[in-house]
Structure 1
Amino acid sequence: MAELLRRESGELFIEHNVFRVLDPEVMDDVHADFDETGLLVTVAGGAAVLCGTHIGTVHVTAETWSGAPPLDPGPWQDVAEMNLPWPGRRMEVWGAGYTPDEELPLAIPGPGAYRIRVSGRHRDHGEDRRAETDPMEQYLLQVWPAPHAPTTLHKATSALGARRRTEPRTGT
């Protein structure tokens, strides 16, 4: 049975509808095509997650596991997972990246083949979050060592994800 190794949680300020899981030494612009899952894509040096919020704050919980974590798509709108090759340096979750305290560290044991699963909810509210009672967009990132496997879309119910899968476009 897989064991949870570390959990970090916090709010990230994002721009351009994206936050990233990356090696901070590879701070490349994200120009990604999210048309396969409408949620998650691998990019140079990591992965990118598509959000409904263009500029604002999202809540992220990032977990590292010893093996595949239990899958519970019930409370989420969208759940996707894919391969994440990792060269063995630090892995962090980055929002807009203006200050060092905006990232969430992930404890990755070393270089190798990993999987990343991202679950998201409240993705369709986008910029319409006006009242304090409107739910904040939320994401759960789970990373674990695993051999190469096909990209899997476990759940796909958000309008945002559906638009990106049916109207593919390059870039964020």
Structure 2
Amino acid sequence: MVPGTLFLITRLHTGEVGFTAEVHSSEPPDGGGEDVVEASFRALGRTVLVTWGGGDWWDLELTPGGRERDTRLGGEPRLDSYLLQFWPAPAAPDVVVRETSAIAAYWHGFARNLPPPPTEAEHAAQREADRRAEEQARAKAEHEQLLREWEGVLPPAPVLDLPPGPLRAFAQRDRELVAAALAAGPEVRRALARRVARLAFERAGLDGVGWIADGLRALDEGSTLPPPFDDWTAAWDRLLSDPEVPHTLVRTPDGRHDNALQQAMAFPAIFAAAHEDLSRALGEALSAAEYTYGADRERFSAEVRAALAELAGSG
């Protein structure tokens, strides 16, 4: 009595058998036959007859069996057939109505020695255990993924809770700095993003160019960036064409070459620091500034930490 399932073993091991399925409105009379069993069945949805191994199936227009031999070859006469009947009745224990063949006796004996099927409460308990096991497996996989992401040592919770994005990516290179910035509060983080952009521009010698100085001043004041900073393409075109803009080289972000234009490394920082999303503003500003400093990462780290300490202290 497993809800939704009936399992029938035929006398034949190999070959086709006749099989008929019927649905009755009440218990049908005993139609004879060598072996007869009754078992309660509760359909849980669409009911189909499926052959062993799932090789074929019928939408409850089912099939029957017996057993003097265990194989029927193609072209041989039918050896046995089965009748499967359904009718409404209260649930009741399985019962062997009639047993006349040795193979039926064998399988009935096998079935009697099986442990009882799980009760509905046991099914529910198993489903809950499976759910907990899945949750534990998922939590373990997520923890292992985090360990890989953070090179085996997890950062403090505020850093770990950062959503995917530039600030989380930067934290993988400097978790202590990001943790300190998070602890300082949102106003300090916004001020730090602006200060980091200014540090990058000063490092690249851009703060002395008139129109760029105007942009930095607006950034410091929290005002809308003036032209050409209101148009990304126009701003880049002016940066790359203005003869007053210096041209110096630093190491590329991948660390393989020393031919990156320092001013191009710094320039995104002003757009980043003005971004509405604070996490993105700080993360992108830090990354741009880090690239601007090239190989001199120690100085970059020291200057940013000093700026954060000053801003946090004044806040």
TM-score in terms of structure 2 length? 0.31
Is 1:92 aligned to 2:48, yes or no? yes
CA 1:167–1:146 in 2, change beyond 3 Å: closer, same or farther?
closer
Matched residue, 1:32: none
Is 1:56 aligned to 2:6, yes or no? no
Matched residue, 2:96: 153
* Partners of 2:30 and 2:91 in 1: CA distance: 18
- Tell me the secondary structure at the aligned position of residue 11 of structure 2: coil
Matched residue, 2:85: 142
TM-score in terms of structure 1 length? 0.54
Q: Displacement of 1:158 after TM fit?
A: 0.8
Give CA deviations for 1:113-156 in whole Å, capped at 9, x if unaligned.
xxxxxxx65323212x4595554221100011111123221110
- Is there any run of 5+ residues in structure 1 with no aligned partner, and where? 1-41, 108-119
Q: Which has the higher contact order (CA 8 A, sep 6+)?
A: 1
- Tell me the secondary structure at the aligned position of residue 83 of structure 1: coil
Q: Is the 8 A contact 2:17 2:80 kept in 1?
A: yes
Q: Displacement of 1:77 after TM fit?
A: 1.2
* Partners of 1:136 and 1:80 in 2: CA distance: 20
Matches within 5 A, 1:32-47: 42-43=1-2, 45-47=4-6
* Partners of 2:95 and 2:50 in 1: CA distance: 23
Task: Give the fraction of aligned pairs with identical amino acids, expressed as a percent.
Answer: 30
Matched residue, 1:33: none
Q: Displacement of 1:104 after TM fit?
A: 2.6
Aligned-CA RMSD value: 2.8
* Partners of 2:17 and 2:76 in 1: CA distance: 15
* Partners of 1:106 and 1:53 in 2: CA distance: 21
Is 1:124 aligned to 2:68, yes or no? yes
- Is there any run of 5+ residues in structure 2 with no aligned partner, and where? 115-315
Give CA deviations for 1:84-127 in whole Å, capped at 9, x if unaligned.
1222x1111111322xxx323238xxxxxxxxxxxx65323212
Number of residue equivalences: 111
* Partners of 1:122 and 1:134 in 2: CA distance: 14
* Partners of 2:2 and 2:69 in 1: CA distance: 26
* Partners of 1:53 and 1:121 in 2: CA distance: 7
